[in-house]
Amino acid sequence: MANLKELRLRIASVKNTRKITAAMSQIASARLRKAQNALLAARPYGERMHEVVQHLVAGIDPAERKAAHALLEERKGGRTLVIAMTADRGLCGGFNSNINRAVARYLDQERAEGHEVVLMAIGRKAQAYFKHYGEDFGGREYPAAEDKTVVDLGKTVASAVIEAFLSEDEAERVDRVLLQYNHFVSVLNQEPRRIQILPLTASESEDAPTQEPTFEPERSSILQHLVPVAVESLLQQAMFNSVAAEIAARRVAMDAATDNASGLIADLTLEYNRERQAAITTELMEIIGGAEALKG
């Protein structure tokens, strides 16, 4: 059983930890409002952009989509590029591990079926996790997105995946690009999602319009401009969601750690008081016993 000095040191240590976790929770709360505002401000543009492109693609015969734009080409088999989007830091609950495990399961499943899959990592946690298991990113590594870097990083990653998709080098070309990220649903709920970045397709529920609309300029000109922008938008929307989800997960994790520290402090304090009371009682009994012995 721990002595009184050890208990005092443990209580002091846990109190210091609680101060750190409480401070981290407060910082996350302050950052979360800003991240949520940025996400909500960007979401309407991203959703509308995706709807417009899907509507344009839905009106094209599948056999003619490659001619309309190279990024619409559906290829059979080939190589798949999977983007794992995590954070650069930990202490955010299952935020990083959920993505890493989901990507690892997908890799195992696809490779077991004989499909070729390569990786791109956004965030140090994904890089460290998959390097530990011997995965080679081939230079496809990027830092995690932050509030101020989402737009530029989204453009950089979009350029990289478009270049890989359109590459004429068989060793570099990929035929499909998937993204695994955390979608921000609420402060308490961050949902791992996997979406297809390339090739861009119409949604399964969307059919070609019954009455062909008139485009100005023509459909092909609009697609030439909008398709690369839509790829950037998809990546940026995912990054906005990932940033907000990371901060929310960190806040929840630090709140839980603070509560756990408070509970541990209460348990240790109770144990300390019991030990102290037992020590005082023992000392009193020794004093009374000594006094009785002197009387005798």
Active-site annotation, residues: 92
| Cα–Cα distance for residue pair 83/160, rounded to 1 Å | 11
CB 138, CB 127: distance < 8 Å: no
| Cα–Cα distance for residue pair 126/96, rounded to 1 Å | 7
CB 210, CB 151: distance < 8 Å: no
- Residues, the chain, total? 296
| Cα–Cα distance for residue pair 10/76, rounded to 1 Å | 61
* Chain-centre distance for alpha carbon 291: 70
Name the H helices within 69-167. Answer: 95-112, 124-132, 150-166
| Cα–Cα distance for residue pair 69/81, rounded to 1 Å | 20
| Cα–Cα distance for residue pair 101/98, rounded to 1 Å | 5
The token pair that represents 38 in the structure block? 């940025």
Among all chains, which residue has been given the structure tokens 């979401």? 43
Q: Which contacts of 213-216 are long-range, i.e. CB under 8 A and separated by 24 or more positions?
A: none
CB 234, CB 46: distance < 8 Å: yes
Count of CB atoms within 10 A of residue 217's CB?
9
83-98: b (≥16 Cβ within 10 Å) or e? bbbbbbeebbbebbeb
